[in-house]
Amino acid sequence: MAGVPREQWTSKRGFVLAAIGSAVGLGNMWRFSYLAAENGGAAFVFLYLLATLVVGLPVLLAELVLGRGSQKSPIQALAHYGGQRWKPLGLLFVVTGLLILSYYAVIAGWAVRYGLAAITSGFDPDAAAHFAEVASGADAFAFHVVFMALTIFVVVGGVSRGIERTSMVLMPLLFALVVGLALYAATLSGASAGYAYYLAPDFSKLLSLNVLKDATGQAFFSLSLGMGALLTFASYLGRDVNLPRAAGIIAGADIAIAFIAGLVVFPLIFALDLSADVGASTVGALFITLPKAFAEMGGVGRGIGILFFAALIVGALTSAISLLEVVVSSAIDNFGWSRRRAGILLGIAITALGAPSAWNTDILGAVDQIANNILLLGGGLALSIFVGWVMAGPIEEVSAGTSGASWFGSWRNLLRYAVPLFLSFVLIYDAIPSTFETILALF
């Protein structure tokens, strides 16, 4: 709205924690461990690290540069540097945000339900049957609504008073919880078998295109890349912030938490000999094996389970906030809506959009694949080309707030050549065909 100054973070630290909050979420705990289990453990972890550093990091920096440079949400940011014809790409980012949040909040709803149940009645030993009962249907929808309400509440609070404040409190808490859980897991008798599975690579899987696609998709999802979330967060920043440093810290924290989450999950699974259950990996893997482990561990398990689900909920909330913020800030910038109106109306729309995922976990899995394999990877490809070729002065913008560096030119070359080539390859040879297979399998 004309005349109203753009909201700003109150501190650099607040921005960095909010961005880490966006990155660290269900992706690090739920998605990372189920993909690692499905794809040969350490082979996947290795490729994921590689994809994060070589492809993820340059795109992350590109998003920060675009957001901070334009001081606008995605649609307007693209129009600012590329003209009207780039607006549809911004719109696609907003749609991606709507779509991801619609099922992300369903999974977060499962976590809320398990967390509450752990406090009141403990974990059901027949974990698979329990999951089948609660993961879909009216129950799942009800918890999805609860989680969405929380997300809407924070976003309506605003950038500094809602998002920043929440992240300043919750991110240190999340870190402490995950590290504490990993230390506990190290004391379990099966820990070393878990570590071995997690960290000793099955080299035959390294050459698989499918693992490469999953690792790249995971790098994008986990870093919140390819749909303008970090772009939007960076649009509330001043030119005194060192963006390359911020990008390094955000990626480093995201990798660290994903890695430590693996140090929690795999020892637990192996301590209770549940590795066969994980082999048959589905979206429910974490919500079946871990509660089963917690149930078998008795009283201690219940306590550990409560802490585990608390961490999951905290991570999910700070990520969901950033997903909703992309949509809300776009409505504010494009329609002149108030934050309150945008948050509530669009939040309700997203809640409704999540109904199919809440009713059917196969639909949820398919939407997750479409969002990741096609929309985020495709969005990353487009962003890379945009900042590499279309945007004027990316090097000046990335330099602002730094003392300059000779590698900024190489960064732009990565965005121009290597990243688009690599992403096109992954999209054409695996991501697009395998996603179509998944969709066809639904019918």
**Which residues contact ligand PFF by CB under 6 A?**
22-23, 25-28, 100, 221-222, 224, 227, 229, 319, 322-323
CA atoms of 159 and 233, how far apart (whole Å):
9
Task: Select 79 or 258, whichever has its Cβ closest to ligand PFF.
Answer: 258
CB distance 234 to 6 below 8 Å: no
Helix axes 361-369, 87-120, angle to 10 degrees: 140
CA atoms of 215 and 47, how far apart (whole Å):
6
At 366 the three-state DSSP class reads helix
Task: Select 319 or 361, whichever has its Cβ closest to ligand PFF.
Answer: 319
Residue 292: name the closest of 133, 124, 135, 136 by CA: 124
Cβ at position 292, least distance to ligand PFF in Å: 23
Task: Select 118 or 258, whichever has its Cβ closest to ligand PFF.
Answer: 258
Cβ at position 161, least distance to ligand PFF in Å: 21
CA atoms of 21 and 321, how far apart (whole Å):
9
Residue with tokens 């924290």: 253
Rounded to a whole number, what is the distance in angstroms from the first to the last CA of the chain?
46
Cβ at position 319, least distance to ligand PFF in Å: 4
Cβ at position 432, least distance to ligand PFF in Å: 19
Task: Select 25 or 58, whichever has its Cβ closest to ligand PFF.
Answer: 25
CB distance 338 to 346 below 8 Å: no
Task: Select 224 or 297, whichever has its Cβ closest to ligand PFF.
Answer: 224
Task: Select 225 or 263, whichever has its Cβ closest to ligand PFF.
Answer: 225
Cβ at position 435, least distance to ligand PFF in Å: 17
- Concatenating the DSSP letter of every residue in 46-92 gives HHHHHHIIIIIHHHHHHHHHHHHHHTS-HHHHHHHHH-GGGHHHHHH
CA atoms of 320 and 327, how far apart (whole Å):
11
Task: Select 152 or 227, whichever has its Cβ closest to ligand PFF.
Answer: 227
Cβ count near 439 (within 10 Å): 13
Task: Select 257 or 272, whichever has its Cβ closest to ligand PFF.
Answer: 257
CB distance 106 to 357 below 8 Å: yes
For 338, how many CA atoms within 13 A lie in the half-sphere containing its CB?
A: 5
CA atoms of 233 and 214, how far apart (whole Å):
26
Cβ at position 252, least distance to ligand PFF in Å: 15
Residue nearest ligand PFF, CB atom distance: 27
Cβ at position 318, least distance to ligand PFF in Å: 9
Copy the structure tokens of residue 350. 């997203």
Cβ at position 339, least distance to ligand PFF in Å: 19
